[in-house]
């Protein structure tokens, strides 16, 4: 019964100490860092982080794990709840997490929108491949804001309960350079996820190229993008649609 519940929550606990050390080491933790850990589980990563960081904020959705977490060091704050309800209210500068694989895309989106300096994440192998695949939507989006590095492939046997797929350990290190026009344009579009793509592109023309609203609308029309692209939010676009938009915008920014 316990294993079924954990799987339902998307939780698979790390059991390999070497890969835990690698993840914590990759974060280059200094004594002033405040680290967010999503899904601390039984605290195997949490304890290692706490030895190096000023503070660890550990957000756990399963209150039954309190029996393992209550004895963690005093610089660990345990919060029980849904990370997406809490994310914007928490103050931290780095993330180290063995995340439930079913929240990967949603979490990456929130990380992009935040001021996180660095994130070291265990993700499903499939999502890691998408993130690392040059030209994919998520590679383009994430790559605008972060340097993406595959630190290690992680066999499924390193977890309990054993997941159906292998995993990957990835590192996202924030960039501060948006010098190129296309990068600025895509950033403008991505940071307006509630807008339809057509309105986000118009905003990009206005804010980056100083066009009037009328000029921006005309420039959008000249791109000749399909209605199926223009009337979706940027995040709803398929990989092919996003790539098409990117290629056309690259010619004018």
- 187, burial (CB in 10 Å: exposed 0-12, middle 13-18, buried 19+): middle
More confident residue, 240 or 55: 55
* Amino acid 186: pLDDT: 85
Q: What is the mean pLDDT of residues 105-125?
A: 92
The CATH classification of domain 181-250, taken from the options 1.10.10, 3.40.50, 1.10.8, 1.10.3470: 1.10.8
**Is residue 4 predicted with pLDDT exceeding 60?**
no
* Topology (CATH level 3) of domain 2-174: Rossmann fold (3.40.50)
Q: What secondary structure letter does DSSP report for 49?
A: H
**Is residue 119 predicted with pLDDT exceeding 80?**
yes
Smallest CA-to-CA distance from 132 within 120, 119, 117, 149 is with: 149
**Is residue 134 predicted with pLDDT exceeding 90?**
no
pLDDT tens column, 137-161: 889 889 888 999 999 999 999 998 9
Q: What is the mean pLDDT of residues 70-77?
A: 96
SS3 for 70-99 is CCCCCCEEEEECCHHHHHHHCCCCEEEEEC
**Is residue 61 predicted with pLDDT exceeding 90?**
yes
pLDDT tens column, 191-230: 777 889 999 999 999 999 999 999 999 999 999 999 999 9
* Amino acid 179: pLDDT: 58
pLDDT band at 1 (very low <50, low <70, confident <90, very high): very low
Location of each CATH 3.40.50.150 domain in the chain: 2-174
Location of each CATH 1.10.8 domain in the chain: 181-250
* Amino acid 17: pLDDT: 93
More confident residue, 137 or 57: 57
pLDDT tens column, 33-51: 999 999 999 999 999 999 9
Q: Do residues 178 and 184 touch, judged by C-beta distance below 8 A? A: yes
pTM for this entry:
0.82
pLDDT band at 113 (very low <50, low <70, confident <90, very high): confident
CA atoms within 13 A on the CB side of 28: 7
């Amino acid at each position: 019964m316990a294993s079924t519940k954990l799987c339902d929550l998307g939780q698979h606990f790390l059991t390999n100490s070497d890969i835990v050390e690698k993840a914590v080491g990759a974060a280059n933790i200094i004594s002033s860092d405040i680290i967010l850990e999503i899904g601390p589980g039984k605290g195997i990563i949490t304890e290692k982080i706490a030895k190096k960081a000023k503070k660890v904020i550990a957000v756990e959705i399963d209150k039954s794990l309190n029996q393992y977490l209550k004895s963690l060091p005093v610089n660990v704050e345990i919060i029980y709840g849904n990370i997406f309800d809490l994310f914007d209210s928490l103050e931290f500068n780095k993330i180290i997490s063995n995340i439930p694989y079913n929240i990967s895309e949603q979490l990456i989106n929130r990380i992009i929108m935040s001021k996180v300096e660095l994130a070291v994440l265990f993700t499903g192998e499939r999502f890691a491949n998408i993130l690392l695949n040059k030209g994919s939507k998520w590679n383009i989006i994430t790559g605008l804001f972060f340097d993406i590095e595959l630190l290690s492939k992680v066999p499924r046997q390193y977890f309990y309960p054993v997941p159906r797929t292998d995993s990957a350990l990835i590192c996202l290190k924030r960039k501060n350079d948006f010098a190129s026009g296309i990068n600025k344009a895509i950033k403008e579009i991505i940071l307006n996820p509630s807008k339809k793509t057509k309105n986000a592109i118009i905003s990009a023309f206005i804010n980056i190229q100083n066009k009037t609203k009328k000029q921006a609308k005309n420039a959008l029309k000249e791109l000749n993008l399909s209605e199926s692209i223009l009337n979706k939010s940027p995040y709803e676009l398929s990989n092919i649609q996003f790539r098409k938009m990117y290629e056309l915008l690259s010619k004018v920014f």
